[in-house]
Structure 1
Amino acid sequence: MTQFWGVDADPTAQGRLKGALPVAVLDIGSNSVRLVVYERHARSLTPLYNEKSACALGRGIAQSGRLADENVAKAIDAIKRFALVAKMMRVGQVHILATSAVRDAANREEFVSAVEAIIEAPVRVLSGEQEAHYAALGVVAGIPGFEGVMGDLGGGSLELSAISGGRDGEGQSYELGVIRLQDDADGSPKKAATMVREKLATSLLADVVPGKQFAAIGGTWRSLAKLHLELRDYPLHMVQDYVVPAEEMISVCDEIVAAESLKSYPGSGSASNSRRELVPFGAAVLAEVLRAGKFESVVFSALGVREGYLYGLLSEAEKHVDPLIQGAEELSVLRSRSPAHAADLIEFTAQYFDAVGVVETAEEKRVRQVGCLLADIGWRAHPDYRGPQSVDSLAYGSLTGVDHPGRAVLAHMIAVRYDGLKSKSANSLNTLAPAEMIRRGRLLGAMFRVAYPMSAAMPGVLPRIRFRLEGNTIVLALPSDFAFLNGEHLRNRLNQFASFAEHEDSRVEVG
């Protein structure tokens, strides 16, 4: 009998990109071993599968110099399962990366050989400088345009690197991982903070120009970000691109470090069991890093070494692809009635701005294009829920390359597109972006409501329809063979749009 993972037929669904060959990264860290399978190797990475096993390979290594037998056994068991998952998912290539615990262990060769025998692929044991490099590339991959300093906090080490112009400088690595700190500081976050302060005194942080931004990577710092989201009652529970003023984060970290228990501190309930006792040590490191670098703010990155490694393998041309645009194009292909219609909508909305003399910034144009690409993703939903479901897809989706204000704008764009200008589906996100940005998103959503009744989401119609401004009257000009579109429904939509855009009047013109 043929096993289900060995069938000859293609098991993938139509909701997957055609011809995409999955790629995976097996990340063997000091705290956990994780397998992430991505739909394909591209600028915009979409995880198909993500699983970790808390093996604590770094526990005790500072004292013994070896990977503990018990923890190795846990890791090997997890990796055997991950090998089967990769086989079932028909992964084209598995990249295996090992970091601090493995590189520092006297018995690394024995462990590496066992992993290579299971996965049938080479293990790349990263040096501290290489780990810093790929972590920095992870920030570049997920936050295009980031300028500042990156820090990647693992179980065994802390890597630092400066980033400018999409490139990183020479990385530094310090034995300041949370597991190592917990061991070396005898379980005291206060003692750990002192150790961190002393070791970072001569780091690259001493030369950082005050007022820069710090990008924080690593599972413990992600847990700290989630904790802060809860404490702040932040409306978007998403770590990627979450920005916090440095002074505010230092204050929270100091409270956590000063707490009497490793399990009971402000927000401890939001941390997972495997991370709860490590968060105070992560807080100690982050507070000292932010102080040493005199940073203005910290931005958290969910993308790190794994994504940075894959980014580094791309061609130079692929590295310059906008991940947000690419991700939106993929969603449009997978969920829109006609992806080609999005290009028409992009031109249609741009033509309106040209007609009324509105000049867009590069970022405003980028967000508008993404909104057009995603304007039809909710058509399969029940009409009463298309707005809220589409808002969820955009605001809480896995797109990268977009900050939280951008997500709020896109959410309002799609809310109005489906539910009209009275929609409240995205109102919970209003505090994430300035009012003028929100208004522009709603304006575009109202414009979408004019476009779709004319085109029925099919390409070739909108390019023949033009906007024109006469005084303060907005005119929608239809070619004569489109005269049948000039009905009450279209005129009502145009009137609503014109009123919101603060035009005195609107008119549909045929001929």
Structure 2
Amino acid sequence: MAAPLLSSPSYASECTSPEHLHAIVDIGSNGVRFSITTLHPLTARILPTLYTDRAPISLYDAQYQYSTLSSTHIKSPIPAPTITAITTTLLRFRTICNAYKVPESHIKLIATEATRTAPNSLEFRQAIQDAVGWPVEMLPKSEEGRIGGLGIASSFATVEGLVMDLGGGSTQLSWMVSKHGELESAKEAVSLPFGAAALTKKLQTAINATAVEATAAHIREEFEKAVASLQVHPELTVKAEKEGGYTLYLSGGGFRGFGYLLLAEHEVQPYPVPIINGFSAKREHFVKLADRIGVELSGEQQEELAGKFRISERRALQVPAVAFLIRNLLKCLPQIKDVVFCQGGVREGCLYSTLSKEVRKANPLVVSTEVYRSHGAGKLARVINDALPKSTPDVLWREIVPALANLLYFHQGIPKEGRAAAGLHFTTTGLLGGVHGLTHKERALLGLVLCARWGGEVAEGGFRERLERVVGDEMAWWARYVGAVAQAVGMVFPVGIPGEEKGDNTDGIQPLERRDSSGSGSESGSSGRRRRASLMDDKISFFARDTARKGNLDLVLKVRVVKDDPDTSAVMVKKALDDIEKVGKKKNCKGFRRKVSVIWETAE
């Protein structure tokens, strides 16, 4: 296994220290959600969850009784049996919090729409406090939108677009620009009474098609007003004009359930990433699925939904209402290019709101690998970086290479034939599977790079092929190239770079600067040359450049090694360096190819 830095072994015990633990209870319309999270400084950005659970108690359903006289659902107080059921689950959670030693001051109960509008809201909240001793914080409508937006911001390194949070009783609409730790959004999110449970009731009691159309017209009217009031950030408008539409970020159980349906119908099957956060779909696929679902499920559709991954019976009943909402809101929103599904909601938003700007701006993928950090990871990242030409996609420079450097030796203790497979699955069902804040493409890309870092040979190639389809042919090629470079670097430095401990100024992992083909980035060309020269002390250095040949863009990689040094002259090292050139061979490329030429140089 990896040889961790001195601070890493203590993380496992430190992260569960009571001072870092925070417990959140989200009393929502569709259920009650419980979580215990560690905000240890090393990993606070990704909000690591130590415990999570959900009680399927619907406050919305409990408050609405069907009247045969009026053929409508009449709102009533939260019934005593429902209050008892909730307090019982809270007493259970109190036992769990005690076991974790969560400080009382770090336990927060949050209530939203269903509690806020309940006729006996005050009595309900008092009953909870009397039973468990914890006060209930009731979020105002505007604050619920803000906190939900922070939950979405926590879900990715960057969020730029329109955001929606669909609860049981209401839905919030806003816009957001979140990057580099800074967050801008609408002054106040618009809250509309079109939650998944509320719309389900509305459609179930509609007496005819005219009533359904009246509901649709009301939704469109309210969304048109909401959009007009948002005053979308000019930066987003310019971005949308340039890219052909806005990105729409969707949160909330109703939207996530719809996302799992899209995931089940994705062209890549079985879909390789079993996590909803970070799943994206084009507008046309989103609309096509919504159009296929009527206001009532047919018997065939009910049977089909019963077997879908992560679609509960309750979520299945709400699918027509969610599809109905989608069909109507897309007629009112500005042009939408694609949709992205988010796990972050009220719980994540409450935690994210406590983080400093410095913590927020950290990249989730890099943060998630810090606890497995290799010796000299910062320097290893810069060595690999020197093998990347100007044309390298940004995600590799800024996210994948720093994370890869942290994990360069993590799978070394696994039998040789299993290392590539372990790396391939590491980001989906391995240790990074539970990390909050990653897109599916980031997960797939790092998994493919780790697989290639260990030679790329796996017993069953179907999973790798599906990950390659998720990222596309071009990014799959870059994953093989970066992985091959990492394999060579790992051969030259088989146990990291000794003497490079945490705190050494040369070892900090920061987003890497893009360099042009002369080797310089934001610094001068001479500083770039000085940097490469300094790496000669570490036995090997790379210099990569793009070169045009017969209408194609090829890659030339210059490898400079110390003459007669056994660490770079050993046969296994030479083979690893030869394998870099093989990445560009025609037989190893599908759909996208860059020919790679490796040039050797030696220095005294």
In the superposition, the TM-score normalised over structure 2's length comes to 0.74
Partner of 2:221: 201
Corresponding residue for residue 94 of structure 1: 107
Alpha-carbon distance between aligned partners in 2 of 1:265 and 1:444, rounded to the nearest angstrom = 45
Q: Which moved more, 1:30-39 or 1:233-242?
A: 233-242
Structure 1 residue 118: deviation in Å? 4.5
Q: Distance in 2 between matches of 1:470 and 1:127?
A: 55
Q: Which residue of 2 aligns with 1:393?
A: 426
Alignment map for 1:74-153 (pairs within 5 Å): 74-92=85-103, 93-153=106-166
Pairing 1:412–2:430 present: no
Deviation at 1:321? Answer: 2.2
Where do residues 305-384 of structure 1 align in structure 2 (5 Å cutoff)?
Answer: 305-330=346-371, 332-333=372-373, 339-353=374-388, 357-358=389-390, 360=392, 362-366=394-398, 367-384=400-417
Counterpart of 1:3 in structure 2 is: none
2:254 maps to 1:220 = yes
Change (3 A) 1:484 1:414: closer
Q: Deviations over 1:202-230 (max 9, x none)?
A: 33235776821221111122111112211
Aligned to 1:5: none
Tell me, what secondary structure is at the counterpart of 1:458?
A: coil
The match for 2:200 is 182
CA deviations on 1:213-252 (whole Å, 9 max, x unpaired) are 2211111221111122112234433211211222322221
Matched, 1:50 2:87: no
Deviates more, 1:226-235 or 1:20-29: 226-235
Q: Which amino acid aligns with 2:48?
A: T
Residues 371 and 291 of structure 1: CA distance in aligned 2, closer, same or farther (over 3 Å): farther
Cα shift readout 1:102-145 (whole Å, capped 9, x = no counterpart) = 11112112221232344443321112211111111111111233
Deviation of the 1:59 alpha carbon? 1.2
1:243 aligns with 2:280: yes
Tell whether the 8 Å contact from 2:277 to 2:438 is kept in structure 1 after alignment.
no
Q: Report the RMSD for the aligned CA atoms in angstroms.
A: 2.9
Could you tell which deviates more after superposition, 256-265 or 158-167?
A: 256-265
Cα deviation, residue 257, structure 1 = 2.6
- Quote the residue 2:39 is aligned against: 40
Aligned length: 489
Q: Which runs of 4+ in 1 moved over 6 A?
A: 207-210
Task: Indicate if the aligned counterparts of 1:54 and 1:274 stay in contact, CA closer than 8 A.
Answer: no
Shift of 1:288: 2.0
Greater shift, 463-472 or 342-351, is seen at 463-472
CA contact (8 A) 2:420 2:450 kept: yes
**Alpha-carbon shift at residue 309 of structure 1 (Å):** 1.5
Moved more, 378-387 or 294-303: 378-387
SS in 1 for 2:221: coil
The aligned amino acid for 2:602 is E
- The question of whether the paired residues in 2 share the 8 Å contact of 1:29 and 1:155 is answered with yes
Q: Match for 1:495: what amino acid?
A: D
Cα gap change, 1:159/1:503 in structure 2, threshold over 3 Å: closer, same or farther? closer
Deviation at 1:46, TM superposition (A): 1.3
Q: Residue 17 and residue 360 in structure 1: after superposition, are their counterparts in 2 closer, same or farther (change >3 A)?
A: farther
Distance 1:78 1:448, change over 3 A: same
Secondary structure (helix, strand or coil) at the match of 1:275 reads: helix
Distance 2:454 2:364 in 1: 26
Is contact 1:22-1:38 (8 Å) kept? yes
Structure 1 pair 470/433, CA: closer, same or farther in 2 (3 Å)? Answer: closer
Q: Residue 426 and residue 478 in structure 1: after superposition, are their counterparts in 2 closer, same or farther (change >3 A)?
A: farther
Letter in 1 for 2:470: L
Alignment-derived partner of residue 342 in structure 2: 301
Q: Confirm or deny that 1:167 pairs with 2:175.
A: no
1:449-488 → structure 2 map (5 Å cutoff)? 449-460=487-498, 464-468=538-542, 474-478=558-562, 482-488=565-571
Residues 220 and 73 (structure 1 numbering): CA distance in 2 closer, same or farther, change over 3 Å? Answer: same
Cα distance, 1:350 vs structure 2: 1.5
Task: Provide closer, same or farther for how the CA distance between residues 381 and 90 of structure 1 changes in structure 2, counting only shifts above 3 A.
Answer: farther
Does structure 2 conserve the Cα–Cα contact (< 8 Å) formed by 1:466 and 1:476?
yes
The one-letter amino acid of 1:48's match is L
1:365-412 per-position Cα deviation (integer Å, ceiling 9, x unaligned): 122222222333323433322222222121441334432222222121
| Aligned equivalents of 1:181, 1:473: Cα separation in 2 | 59
The residue number in structure 2 matching 1:4 is: none
Structure 1 381/498 Cα, relative in aligned 2: closer, same or farther at 3 Å? same
For residues 55-85 of structure 1, the C-alpha deviation after alignment (integer angstroms, 9 at most, x for no partner) is 1111153523421222222211111111111
Aligned partner (choices 64, 67, 77) of residue 78 of structure 2: 67
Q: C-alpha distance in 2, partners of 1:137/1:360?
A: 32
Question: Structure 1 residues 497 and 422 mapped into 2: Cα distance closer, same or farther (>3 Å)?
Answer: farther
Q: Is the 8 A contact 1:43 1:326 kept in 2?
A: yes
Identify the structure with bigger relative contact order (alpha carbons < 8 Å, sequence gap 6+).
Answer: 2
The CA distance in 1 between the partners of 2:203 and 2:602, in whole Å, is 76
- Separation in structure 2 between the aligned mates of residue 351 and residue 297 of structure 1, nearest angstrom: 34
Give the Cα separation in 2 of the matches to 1:411 and 1:340: 21
When the two structures are superposed, what TM-score results if normalisation uses the length of structure 1? 0.87
Which letter maps to 1:124?
A: E
CA displacement, residues 479-510 of structure 1 (integer Å, 9 cap, x when unaligned):
76x43541111111111113325444554736
Q: Is 1:138–1:306's contact at 8 Å kept on the other side of the alignment? A: yes
Distance of 1:36 and 1:470 partners within structure 2:
47
For the 8 Å contact 1:246–1:290, the answer to whether it is kept is no
SS at match of 1:91: coil
Q: Which runs of 5+ in 1 are unaligned?
A: 1-12, 334-338
Aligned: 1:438 with 2:476: yes
Q: Call closer, same or farther: CA 1:194–1:79 in 2, change over 3 Å.
A: farther
CA distance in 2, matches of 1:192, 1:35: 36
C-alpha distance in 2, partners of 1:473/1:322?
A: 29
**CA distance change for structure 1 residues 206 and 414 in 2, over 3 Å: closer, same or farther?**
same
- Alpha-carbon deviation of 1:413? 0.5
**Structure 1 residue 259: deviation in Å?**
4.3
| C-alpha separation in 2, matches of 1:385 and 1:318 | 35
Aligned partners of 1:129 and 1:159 also within 8 Å: no
Amino acid at match of 2:395: E
Give the secondary structure class of the aligned counterpart of 2:343.
coil
Distance in 1 (CA, whole Å) between partners of 2:347 and 2:39 is 14
Query: One-letter code of the match for 1:407?
Result: R
